[in-house]
A and B are shown apart, each in its own frame.
Chain A
Amino acid sequence: GQNIDQPTEMTATEGAIVQINCTYQTSGFNGLFWYQQHAGEAPTFLSYNVLDGLEEKGRFSSFLSRSKGYSYLLLKELQMKDSASYLCAVRDPLALIFGKGTTLSVSS
């Protein structure tokens, strides 16, 4: 079966650091993706991990542990515009399977 879990909602303040966790159980694994989706807009690609470890891209970092079926997205120096839904997705291997998303609210 396929199961991708992430928290439903998170809140944080401007300038803070937030970590969004994702655990997965899938029949295959060809990489893990994080997407950002603002209300009423299409999801946009943030990061991709296929090997264990940390991938850093500016204020955003993503970590993967394949043996634990675990990933996290780290957002630093939070800004109001980071308020959005963050989607964890696993390529399994022909389809990209998504979790239900984590809605992040950033307040001043």
Chain B
Amino acid sequence: KAGVTQTPRYLIKTRGQQVTLSCSPISGHRSVSWYQQTPGQGLQFLFEYFSETQRNKGNFPGRFSGRQFSNSRSEMNVSTLELGDSALYLCASSWPLGQKNTEAFFGQGTRLTVV
């Protein structure tokens, strides 16, 4: 069974640009969550999607947005990039169809560097 796949793995962007990151969850998982990980702040929750609906959102500015498609794949977008957006962005999938929700499975992440 394939794991969570995130693309691209590495990305370098310039301040002011926008970026789109992609996440393909484990087959059958309905929930996708996004996290930003930085050395000082740890893993910070961005948002969670379930069946194409955003169910919860963390404390991030509106420049951070996301969506989920009917096949559960998800994208997150960051507009008007700032230097402080440099981080590892992790996607996690959970909630297999017909099963009790337990742990989340993480992808390898996208390392975004803003210069």
Binding site for B on A (CB under 8 A): 31, 33, 35, 41-45, 48, 87, 89, 94-101
Contact = CB atoms under 8 A, between A and B. Distances in A.
Given A41-B108, A45-B103, A45-B104, A94 B48 contact: yes
B40 to A, nearest CB: 8
7 contacts: A31-B102, A42-B106, A43-B43, A43-B90, A48-B103, A94-B55, A98-B44
B74 interface: no
A97 B33 CA distance: 11
A98 B43 contact: yes
Interface of B: 4, 33, 35, 41-45, 48, 50, 55-56, 58, 90, 92, 102-109
A43 B91 CA distance: 11
Contacts of A35: 106
Contact of B102 (A41, A43, A48, A99): A48
Contacts of B45: 95-98
Q: Which of A35, A89, A95 has the most CB of B within 10 A?
A: A95
